[in-house]
Structure formats: C-alpha cells, structure tokens
Amino acid sequence: MSANQSIRTIILADGSRQEMRNAVERLRPTIERYLSVVGVSLDFSAELPTTDAELVIVLGGDGSILRAAHQMGYHQRPVLGVNLGRLGFLAALQPEQLDEALPEIAAGQHNVVERLMIECTATRAGKPLYQSLGLNEASVLAGPPFRMVDIQLYVDGGLVTTYSCDGLIVSTPVGSTAHSLSAGGPILRNDIQALVVTPISPHTLTHRPVVDSADRKIELMVPRPHEGTSLVVDGRVLGTLEANDRIKIVRSKARFQRVEVRGQEYYRTLHDKLGWGGQFRLNT
C-alpha cells in the first residue's frame, strides 16, 4: 500500500525532551513506510496540526497518552501508544514492534476499543471554577500543611460518608492501575463501565474502596480544606479548593479510543507490567 493510500496519521511527542525529538526522527521513517504522516506535534498544549487524521501515534509513556487525550478534548481519535517510558499500560507497543504492528494497522487488522472518560467540574457558590476531562482519575489531595482532611462523598445527591484521609481518588477503569492502585484500590477491566472511589490513608479502617456504576453522579466537598488542598485531574493540578467548593464527576460524552494489535491481551499486559509471579502460559 502506498503512503498516499494509507491511514492519515499524526505523530505526537513531548518536544521539550531531546530524547523524544530524537525518537521522532528515528521512528518517523518506519511509520511512513506503512502510514501517511500528515502532521507532527511536539507540544501537547498546542492544537493538533490537522483535523482530518484517522490515527494518532503517541511516542512516550502513559503520561504522554494522558496529555494527548486532553489535547484532543472532545474530538478523540484512535491512539496507538509506543512505549518510550516505564510501565506503559496504555503505551504498550515497543518501538521494535512497529515493523510488525504497522502493516496490520495499515491493512485494517486491528481493533479500536473505546474507554470511559470522566468530566470533572468544580463550582464555588454555584459558579464554575474548574473544568476538565479525565482519562485516569480526579483527586482531591489534602496538601500543605499535610494533615488529614475531611472529604464528603455524595452519590446522586445523597451524602454517603465523610472520609478523614490524605485525599480521595475517583478513578476510571483505565486509571485503576495508576494512582488508585497505589492507594490500595482494585484493578478493573478497562471495558467495565464503572468508577472507583479510593481514599488515601483513611483514618477509619472500615473506609475501603468502593466500585459503582459510571452512570452515577459523584460529588465531593471539603468543609475545612487546608491552604494547599487541591483538585488534581490526571496528574494536573487544576487549583486549590476553598470551604464548600463542590466537585462533580460524571461520565463524559468523550470516549478515549485505543488501537489494539495482536499480543496486547489484557491479562498478559497486567502480568508483564506488574511483575506478577508464576508461569504465564498462552493457549495454543
């Protein structure tokens, strides 16, 4: 298949890092053997170089894919992640696998799976304060002076409980292997339509992670925040919170689109990335 007949592709990477600029130069010829590169963006805060791309290839780690998802906003496109970082749950393809994977993608022998995203909105006295899409999670973190803070959890308008903790994470299934996992939350299959509420170091041991439907409206409120109590979405600090600011987290209409190729089975990825022991065997 010639380049002018192949899938129109944008390459995204963090151009502030020289090693990523080098990676773009090194891997672009390989990509162009199979796909039509119609744009390159080295700035995740900039607009995409074209609006008619059919595929986005992100070079980097999972953090780069999160930034790419925010960059695309409500106009998500299929994303193929090439792992140049560490764990790489989302960016699971290794650079040396491109020559095997890209012909399959060019021939349409791949799957595009949609993943849940969330909409996080904070209001103060009923007026909009912060707003962001999220792919991994929205978190309220206690912040300086680094004492526990009380965080109220509401589901569909009803008060569920008040956590005394270092913070509270509301995670998507994609984000269940990120901050939520490190705080003791469960791992959810990425295709489950659910959210996980995970307290960070709760004072009461009976406060455990809770899984609920993604169709619920989750709200958080901090009656007495610290000076540094903050709202964080996908690792980005949106801003500090004042008493009775209200944070609403709901399912977004935007859906993250991930390109999956052969060899990216879900449990195999968990086994490889989390270093699970034991012998892993595939059926033949």
Q: Which of 43, 52, 62, 215 is catalytic?
A: 62
Nearest-CA neighbor of 157 among 248, 49, 245? 248
C-alpha 163/C-alpha 170 separation (Å) is 13
Nearest-CA neighbor of 69 among 273, 54, 78? 78
Active site residue 166: no
Q: Which tokens is 204 given?
A: 């009461």
- Active site members: 62
